[in-house]
């Protein structure tokens, strides 16, 4: 027993108290170590939501991963992604997949590695297709309504969408992802207008209008017309701030503030469009 505990501690680095509990339950060191890695906190305190029997199982996730995995490579690729989406009954181009990509740390479109897969799903608390379906509903809702979460997914999307080795995002690609994200965020409230901090705050309490749905199309029109070669990371990230803070008439925009110049140019362009 003591040998086993020592062995367990040597491998996992866990405390002897934890080791004893694992060994006592699983008897064999190798099984105990597996269990430990599955859920190191299985025995620590009672604050866990799920008890160990209902917690997501690594092996289940592993086998699911293997199911979708590219037979010739270590990762899930496009084909596997499509199959997964079919099973989850979700369109591969559904905005929720961007949240999934963020959660599972998918580095590129249609590319999932094993660690991201298991850690990600485990964090979401699911290890089966039905569980994942439920999680997707939750994620879609969170993405639409939680500004902080929306921003994280939005920022991740830039790296996710980018072709490897490119600094910027092609205009068409960028537009496709904006088309997914912006309406969702605007609808659910994650992109609700934030009033810029006026100096005379208590004067004008009238509800100020912010970014309008139409403006997303204007932005695309503008980029197609004058956008140049691509969208830089800075423009991508700052654009979110811009959408959330700009007033509907673009009057509060400060050309000399630290906005990327593409957004400066857009505001010029949009003001002209409003006046004409």
Partner 1 sequence: MSSNAAPAMPPASADLATTWAFLEEGVDHIMTKLQTGVSYSKYMSLYTVAYNYCTSSKMSGASSDHPGGLSNRSAGANLMGSDLYNNLIRYFVSHLKTLREASDALQDEELLRYYAREWDRYTTGANYINRLFTYLNRHWVKRERDEGRKGVYPVYTLALVQWKTNFFMHVQQKNTKLAGAILRLIEQQRNGETIDQGLVKKVVDSFVSLGLDDTDINKACLDVYKEHFEVPFIDATEKYYKQESESFLAESSVSDYLKKAEERLREEEDRVERYLHTQTRKPLISKCEHVLIREHSELMWESFQSLLDYDKDEDLQRMYALLSRIPEGLEPLRKKFEEHVKKAGLSAVTKLIGEGAENVDSLDPKAYVDALLEIHQKNSETVTRSFRGEAGFVASLDKACREFVNRNAATGTSTSKSPELLAKHADMLLRKNNKMAEEGDLEGALNRVMILFKYIEDKDVFQTFYTTKLSKRLIHGVSASDESEASMISKLKEACGFEYTNKLQRMFTDMSLSKDLTDSFKERMQQNHDDMDINFSIMVLGTNFWPLTAPNNEFIIPTEIQPTYERFQKYYQTKHSGRKLTWLWNYSKNELRTNYLNQKYILMTSSYQMAILLQYNNNDTLSLSELVAATSINKEHLTQILALLVKAKILINEETDQYDLNPNFKSKKIRVNLNLPIKAEVKAETTDVLKTVDEDRKYVIQATIVRIMKARKTMKNQALIQEVISQISQRFAPKIPDIKKAIDTLLEKEYIERVEGTRDTFAYVA
Which residues in this chain contact partner 1 in the complex, by CB under 8 A? 167-168, 232-235, 238, 241, 255-262, 264
Q: Which two tokens stand for residue 57?
A: 């199982």
Closest distance of CB 85 from partner 1, Å: 34
Nearer to partner 1, 167 or 199 (CB): 167
Closest distance of CB 117 from partner 1, Å: 29
Closest distance of CB 65 from partner 1, Å: 33
Cα–Cα distance for residue pair 19/237, rounded to 1 Å? 46
178 Cβ contact partners less than 8 Å away, ≥ 6 residues apart: 216, 219, 220
Nearer to partner 1, 207 or 256 (CB): 256
Closest distance of CB 267 from partner 1, Å: 12
Closest distance of CB 198 from partner 1, Å: 16
The structure tokens 């079919």 sit at 86
Angle (CA) 120 122 126, round 5°? 110
Alpha carbon separation from 11 to 16, 19, 34, 38, 40 (Å, rounded) = 12, 10, 11, 14, 13
Neighbour-count burial for 31-60, b at 16+ CB within 10 Å, e otherwise = ebbebbeebeebbeeeeeeeeeeebbbbee
Closest distance of CB 268 from partner 1, Å: 9
**What are 37-40's contacts with CB under 8 Å, separation 24+?**
37/12, 40/12, 40/14
Beta carbons of 244 and 210 less than 8 angstroms apart: yes
Nearer to partner 1, 49 or 167 (CB): 167
Nearer to partner 1, 116 or 230 (CB): 230
Nearer to partner 1, 203 or 257 (CB): 257
Nearer to partner 1, 126 or 243 (CB): 243
CA atoms within 13 A on the CB side of 255: 7
Closest distance of CB 245 from partner 1, Å: 9
Nearer to partner 1, 110 or 170 (CB): 170
């Amino acid at each position: 027993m003591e040998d086993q505990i020592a062995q367990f501690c040597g491998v996992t680095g866990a405390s002897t108290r934890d080791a004893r509990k694992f060994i006592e339950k699983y008897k064999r060191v190798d099984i105990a170590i597996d269990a430990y890695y599955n859920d190191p906190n299985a025995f620590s305190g009672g604050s866990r939501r799920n008890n160990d029997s209902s917690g997501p199982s690594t092996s289940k996730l592993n086998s699911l991963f293997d199911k979708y995995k590219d037979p010739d490579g270590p990762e899930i690729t496009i084909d596997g992604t499509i199959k997964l989406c079919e099973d989850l009954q979700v369109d591969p181009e559904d905005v929720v997949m961007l949240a999934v990509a963020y959660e599972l740390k998918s580095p590129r479109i249609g590319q999932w590695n094993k660690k991201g897969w298991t850690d990600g799903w485990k964090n979401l608390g699911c290890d089966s297709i039905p569980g994942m379906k439920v999680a997707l509903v939750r994620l879609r809702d969170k993405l639409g309504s939680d500004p902080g979460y929306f921003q994280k997914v939005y920022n991740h999307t830039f790296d996710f969408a980018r072709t490897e080795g490119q600094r910027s995002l092609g205009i068409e690609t960028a537009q496709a992802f904006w088309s997914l994200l912006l309406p969702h965020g605007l609808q659910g409230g994650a992109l609700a207008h934030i009033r810029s901090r006026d100096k005379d705050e208590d004067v004008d309490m009238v509800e100020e209008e912010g970014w309008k749905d139409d403006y997303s199309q204007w932005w695309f029109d503008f980029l197609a017309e004058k956008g140049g070669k691509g969208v830089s990371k800075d423009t991508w990230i700052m654009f979110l701030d811009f959408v959330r803070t700009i007033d509907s008439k673009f009057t509060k925009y400060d050309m000399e503030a630290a906005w990327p110049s593409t957004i400066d140019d857009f505001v010029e362009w949009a003001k002209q469009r409003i006046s004409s």
